C-alpha cells in the first residue's frame, strides 16, 4: 500500500484526500517509481476545480511531474533500470496517470534520467516550466537574438523559466506583474524590464521599450478579456501564445482579419512532450542550460505530502515567486 492524493468531487483544495492505495506493478511501457518530490502546477488546480480542458474521472489522482527512483520496469521498456534516478515530464493525461503520492506508475516515454547529483526538489521544479518555455519561445515562437518577448504573470514557475529561456537565446525578456513587491525579484531573476500592470500602461511601456516595434512573442498565462489588449503589442510576423487561464472569464484570440500578420493560438506543453523529436531537443536544451547554470530553477517553498491541501491553498494565493514543491518522506 502507498499514500496517494485523490479527490472524489471537483472543488477547492479541501476536496483533496490522502489515501492508502495499491500501486501494483508497471504494465508494458511503464515504470513504477518511488516519488521523492513533485512540483505543483496551475493546470492541476484547474483540473481539481473542473475547469481544465478535460474532466476528471473519480476517484481521481493529480500530478504531471515528479522526481524519484525507478523501482520496477515494465515490458518493452529500454534505457531504464531499478535504482535509476529519474524525473517525470508532463506527457500524459491526468485521467491516465498521476504523480501526487509516495509511488506512481508512469509512462517510460514521459520519464527522463536525472543529472548526476541532482536533488529531488530541484528536479521536481524543472520540467513543466522549462519545457513550456522552451517550446513556446525557442521552437514555436522562433525567438531570435535581440527579439523582445513579453511574459505575463512572470513570477510563476513558467514565467521565470521563460525569462531565463529568453536570455539564453539572446532575447530581451519583458515581464509583467500585478505586484509592485515582486518587481525587484523579477529584475533579480533576469527580466530586462518589469511592468507593474496596476500602476503602468503595458501598451505604452512596450512601445517605449521596443521603440514602437512591438514584441516578437507574447507568452500569456492569464487569458480572459485582457487577451485582446495584448495582440496589438505583437509586431508583424510575431506570435501571441496563450498557455494558461488564470482569468476564468471567456477569452477570445484575435482573428487573422483583426490582427493580420501575427499568429494567435493556445499553446500546451504536450506539443513538446508528446513529440519524441521535439522532446529530445527540449531535454538537451534544458540539460545544457542546467549544466551551465544559464537555467536555474527557483523553488519558492516546499511542503510535505501530508500538507497537500495547504500547498494548493498557497498556490492559489498567488504569493509565490517560482515553483512550489511537495516532498515525500519514506
Helical ranges in 154-275 per DSSP H = 157-168, 183-188, 202-210, 227-230, 270-273
The dihedral over CA atoms of 95, 131, 13, 70, expressed in degrees to the nearest 10, equals 60
CA distance 15 to 230: 35
Grid coordinates belonging to 68: 524519484
Predicted confidence at residue 55, as pLDDT, reads 96
Domains of the chain: 2-126+297-327 (3.90.180.10), 128-271 (3.40.50.720)
HEC readout, 46-115: HHHHCCCCCCCCCCECCCCCEEEEEEEECCCCCCCCCCCEEEECCCCCCCCCCCCECEEEEEHHHEEECC
Q: What is the mean pLDDT of residues 226-250?
A: 89
The three cell numbers of residue 313 are 491553498
Q: Name the residue among 107, 100, 123 with its Cα closest to residue 32.
A: 107
Instruction: Examine the pLDDT at 58 and tell me if it is beyond 70.
Output: yes
Q: What percent of the chain clears pLDDT 90, i.e. is strictly above it?
A: 85
- The overall average pLDDT reported for the chain is 94
207: burial class by Cβ within 10 Å (0-12, 13-18, 19+)?
Answer: middle
Residue whose entry in the numeric block shows the C-alpha cell 521603440: 211
pLDDT the model gives residue 257 = 74
Mean pLDDT score, 158-180: 95
Q: What is the pLDDT of residues 299-308, one digit of tens each?
A: 999 999 999 9
Over the stretch 7-54, which tens digit does the pLDDT of each residue have?
A: 999 999 999 999 999 999 999 999 999 999 999 999 999 999 999 999
Estimate to the nearest angstrom the gap between the alpha carbon of 310 and the chain centroid.
20
Q: How far apart are CA 32 and CA 17, in angstroms?
A: 22
Instruction: Count the neighbouring beta carbons within 10 Å of the beta carbon of residue 73.
Output: 19
Residues 298/324, Cβ–Cβ less than 8 Å: no
**pLDDT tens digit sequence for 192-221:** 999 999 899 999 999 999 999 999 999 999
In this prediction, residues 135-162 reach a mean pLDDT of 91
- Over the stretch 180-196, which tens digit does the pLDDT of each residue have? 889 999 999 999 999 99
Q: Is the pLDDT of residue 141 over 70?
A: no
- Residue 226 scores a pLDDT above 90: no
Judged against a pLDDT cut of 80, whether residue 140 lies above it is answered with no
Instruction: Flag whether pLDDT at 256 surpasses 80.
Output: no
CB-CB contact of 62 with 47 (8 Å): yes
State pLDDT tens for residues 59-118. Answer: 999 999 999 999 999 999 999 999 999 999 999 999 999 999 999 999 999 999 998 889
pLDDT given at position 261:
86
Amino acid at each position: 500500500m502507498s499514500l496517494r492524493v485523490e479527490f472524489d468531487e471537483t472543488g477547492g483544495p479541501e476536496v483533496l484526500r490522502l489515501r492508502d492505495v495499491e500501486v501494483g506493478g508497471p504494465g508494458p511501457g511503464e515504470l513504477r517509481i518511488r516519488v521523492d518530490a513533485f512540483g505543483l502546477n496551475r493546470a492541476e488546480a484547474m483540473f481539481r476545480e473542473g475547469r481544465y480542458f478535460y474532466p476528471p474521472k473519480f476517484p481521481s489522482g493529480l500530478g504531471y511531474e515528479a522526481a524519484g527512483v525507478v523501482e520496477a520496469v515494465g515490458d518493452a521498456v529500454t534505457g531504464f533500470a531499478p535504482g535509476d534516478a529519474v524525473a517525470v515530464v508532463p506527457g500524459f493525461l491526468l485521467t491516465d496517470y498521476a504523480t501526487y503520492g509516495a509511488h506512481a506508475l508512469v509512462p517510460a516515454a514521459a520519464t527522463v534520467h536525472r543529472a548526476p547529483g541532482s536533488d529531488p526538489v530541484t528536479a521536481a521544479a524543472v520540467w513543466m516550466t522549462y519545457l513550456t518555455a522552451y517550446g513556446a519561445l525557442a521552437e514555436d515562437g522562433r525567438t531570435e537574438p535581440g527579439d523582445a518577448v513579453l511574459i505575463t504573470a512572470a513570477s510563476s514557475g513558467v514565467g521565470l523559466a521563460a525569462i531565463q529561456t529568453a536570455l539564453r537565446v539572446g532575447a530581451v525578456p519583458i515581464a509583467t506583474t500585478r505586484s509592485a513587491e515582486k518587481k525587484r525579484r523579477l529584475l533579480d531573476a533576469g527580466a530586462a524590464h518589469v511592468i507593474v500592470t496596476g500602476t503602468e500602461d503595458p501598451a505604452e511601456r512596450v512601445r517605449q521599450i521596443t521603440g514602437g516595434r512591438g514584441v516578437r512573442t507574447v507568452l500569456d498565462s492569464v487569458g480572459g478579456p485582457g487577451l485582446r489588449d495584448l495582440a496589438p503589442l505583437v509586431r508583424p510576423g510575431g506570435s501571441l501564445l496563450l498557455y494558461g487561464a488564470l482569468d476564468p472569464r471567456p477569452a477570445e484570440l484575435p482573428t487573422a482579419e483583426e490582427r493580420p500578420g501575427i499568429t494567435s493560438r493556445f499553446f500546451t506543453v504536450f506539443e513538446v512532450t508528446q513529440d519524441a523529436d521535439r522532446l529530445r531537443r527540449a531535454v538537451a536544451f534544458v540539460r545544457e542550460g542546467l549544466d551551465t547554470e544559464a537555467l536555474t530553477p527557483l523553488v519558492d517553498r516546499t511542503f510535505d505530502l501530508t500538507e497537500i491541501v495547504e500547498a494548493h491553498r498557497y498556490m492559489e494565493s498567488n504569493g509565490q515567486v517560482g515553483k512550489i514543491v511537495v516532498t515525500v518522506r519514506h
